[in-house]
Amino acid sequence: MSQSDKISGKLYLVPTPIGNLEDITLRAIRILKEVDIVLAEDTRTSGNLLKHLDIQTKLQAFHAHNEHRALQATIQLLQQGKNLALVSDAGTPGISDPGFLLVRECYVHGIVVECLPGPTAFVPAIVKSGLPSDKFVFEGFLPHKKGRKTRVEKLMTEDRTIIFYESPYRLVKTLEQLKEAFGLERQASVSRELTKMFEETRNGTLEELAAHYTKHTPKGEIVLIVAGFNSKTDSLGEMGEEEDGEADEEE
């Protein structure tokens, strides 16, 4: 009997709300109740969600720090017929969160993977930014230190709308660096705390946004949307030397 013929469990990738708990889908609730184990980026965060939904399924840690170590043990559980759900702290697993390695390994071993549709922070951010959303590139988090300057320089002439995730502690630094590289007048949009009580989206040039958030310290999860390069209207700047950087504050 071939590997693909063996009876094995299924891995479900289950998006969870990025803020408002009402955004959980009926299907996601059913899957989280039916699986044998929920693999969670943070068992405390996911535990609170399951408690809110009155779900008693066993939780098991699966995060960036143990992903490589836990990979084969997780595959073995699936091969034994266990159905597993992978969740991140918020949004869709695998989007700037653990998940890629596990999905790839499942395909190597002929294990079925099913991804439920659901919340992803950059979708509402780009749609409400007012910037073109027909073509875009998702960059996620820029490197904190080494390789940051190189990455930004490669994006200077990217003509599609660019999506970044950013920490509130690094937002001003990022806006200043992008302003320096892309030019003062490049249009951008900052969305924070999406779906939450204090949700805010602010549009403007990179210079205007950098000035605003220098005066008003941002809080919460942030999605930064930057207009693509337009050869007819944009003049590019020039970045300084690569910085070693200091340790960033943590939330």
Residue 215's domain is classified under what CATH number? Answer: 3.30.950.10
Flag whether 246 is in a domain. no
Cα(105)–Cα(2) distance, rounded to whole angstroms?
A: 17
SS3 content of the chain, % helix, strand, coil (to 5): 35, 20, 45
Tell me which of 86, 115, 144 is where a domain ends. Answer: 115
Flag whether 172 is in a domain. yes
Residue 79's domain is classified under what CATH number? Answer: 3.40.1010.10
- Overall domain count for the chain: 2
- Over residues 219-244, the pLDDT tens digits come to 999 999 999 998 877 777 666 666 55
Same domain? 7 vs 111: yes
Give me the domain span that covers residue 102.
3-115
Flag whether 142 is in a domain. yes
- Over residues 188-201, the pLDDT tens digits come to 999 999 999 999 99
Flag whether 234 is in a domain. no
- Identify the pLDDT of residue 164: 98
Same domain? 161 vs 101: no
* Residue type at position 177: Q
Longest CA–CA span in the chain (Å) reads 66
Residues 6 or more apart whose CB falls under 8 angstroms from that of 161 comprise: 126, 129, 131, 132, 133, 135, 136, 137, 225, 226, 227, 228
Higher pLDDT, 247 or 108: 108
- Asked whether 15 and 49 are in contact (CB, 8 A), the reply is no
Cα Rg of the chain, angstroms:
20
- Over residues 86-118, the pLDDT tens digits come to 999 999 998 887 789 999 999 999 999 999 999
